[in-house]
Amino acid sequence: MQLTLSLGHRPALGREDFLVTPANELAVAWIDRWPDWPGGSLCLHGPSGSGKSHLLQVWRQASGAVELAAVALDRAEPPELLGDARHCAVDDAERAAAAPSAEQCLLHLYNLVRERGGHLLLTGERPPARWPVALPDLRSRLVTLPAVALQPPDDALIEALLVKLFADRQLRVGQDVVGFLLTRMERSFAEARDLVAAIDAAALAAQREVGISLVREVLRSRSGLEEGEAARGPGTNDDGD
């Protein structure tokens, strides 16, 4: 898959930039299926950094939807938030749960989108049935939404994600660096994101290219222990950049 380099640190968020593996292919299929969503709404859920916000952006670009953050639901009325739009995406909508004014706003937003014949996309870490929603009318609507999970990452996705994260920051790294990280890092989207940011900062501060020795230093500084040495198998030579 072609990875488009972005300017500065802006992530590449186009459909062609999304890394499709068995861990997320169902969610991608649902986004590609729009506007044929049962009931006109969808919730994507999964761990932080799993690609929910990326897919939200893909759908927003395709649909022309208004994008809202959950914190905005406490600050305005649904007609003001939606404007003339028919479609709406609320990132991290789970945060609106258990906040009375935000729950009320989300309920009215859901109803207004339906009245206009539009579509609503929500994201959260958990499926809507597990959100601590206190408002009965909102809960009854959320539990009927199709809820599609982005699964924890497999090795193929973590490897592809590392390549993309480095490319987003215009960092050129070899396969040896990616392989070195894969055998020493926690398998999570958040860890991949944080590691690449730390490596970028270290390379900039030291005015060095990203190589194995620099990556090893970053791993040691993050762990406080030389865990990379313990994880290295016998006979492995990873000295030098």
Residue 39 sits in a domain whose CATH number is: 3.40.50.300
Asked whether the predicted pLDDT for residue 183 surpasses 70, the reply is yes
Q: For the stretch 73-87, what's the b/e string if a residue is b when 16 or more beta carbons lie within 10 angstroms of its beta carbon?
A: beeeebeebbeeebb
How many domains are contained in the chain? 2
What CATH number is associated with residue 212?
1.10.8.60
| Least confident range of 8-22, 136-150, 183-197 | 8-22
Same domain, 28 and 102: yes
In a domain, 239, yes or no: no
**Per-residue confidence (pLDDT) for residue 17, from 0 to 100:** 56
Same domain, 32 and 106: yes
Same domain, 101 and 202: no
Asked whether the predicted pLDDT for residue 88 surpasses 60, the reply is yes
Residues 168/161, Cβ–Cβ less than 8 Å: no
Look up the pTM and report it. Answer: 0.71
Same domain, 78 and 138: yes
Same domain, 71 and 145: yes
Same domain, 34 and 83: yes
Asked whether the predicted pLDDT for residue 153 surpasses 90, the reply is no
Residues 77/105, Cβ–Cβ less than 8 Å: yes
In a domain, 129, yes or no: yes
Looking at residues 217-238, what average pLDDT do you find? 58
Top-ranked range on mean pLDDT: pick from 9-23, 115-129, 174-188, 190-204: 115-129
Can you tell me the distance from the alpha carbon of 172 to that of 178, in angstroms, rounded to the nearest whole number? 11
SS3 content of the chain, % helix, strand, coil (to 5): 50, 10, 40
Asked whether the predicted pLDDT for residue 142 surpasses 70, the reply is yes
From the CB of residue 195, how many other CB atoms can be counted at a distance below 10 Å?
20
Same domain, 57 and 143: yes
Same domain, 143 and 166: no
**Per-residue confidence (pLDDT) for residue 122, from 0 to 100:** 97
Asked whether the predicted pLDDT for residue 12 surpasses 50, the reply is no
Same domain, 91 and 41: yes
Same domain, 165 and 211: yes
Asked whether the predicted pLDDT for residue 18 surpasses 60, the reply is yes
Asked whether the predicted pLDDT for residue 3 surpasses 80, the reply is no
Asked whether the predicted pLDDT for residue 6 surpasses 70, the reply is no
The residue out of 96, 116, 149 marking a domain boundary is 149
Same domain, 136 and 168: no
The residue out of 149, 177, 197 marking a domain boundary is 149
In a domain, 237, yes or no: no
**Per-residue confidence (pLDDT) for residue 23, from 0 to 100:** 81
In a domain, 9, yes or no: no
Asked whether the predicted pLDDT for residue 204 surpasses 60, the reply is yes
Same domain, 76 and 129: yes
Q: How confident is the model at residue 13 (pLDDT cuts 50, 70, 90)?
A: very low
For residues 129 and 10, the model is more confident at: 129
Residues 116/79, Cβ–Cβ less than 8 Å: no
Residue span of the structural domain in which 186 resides? 155-231
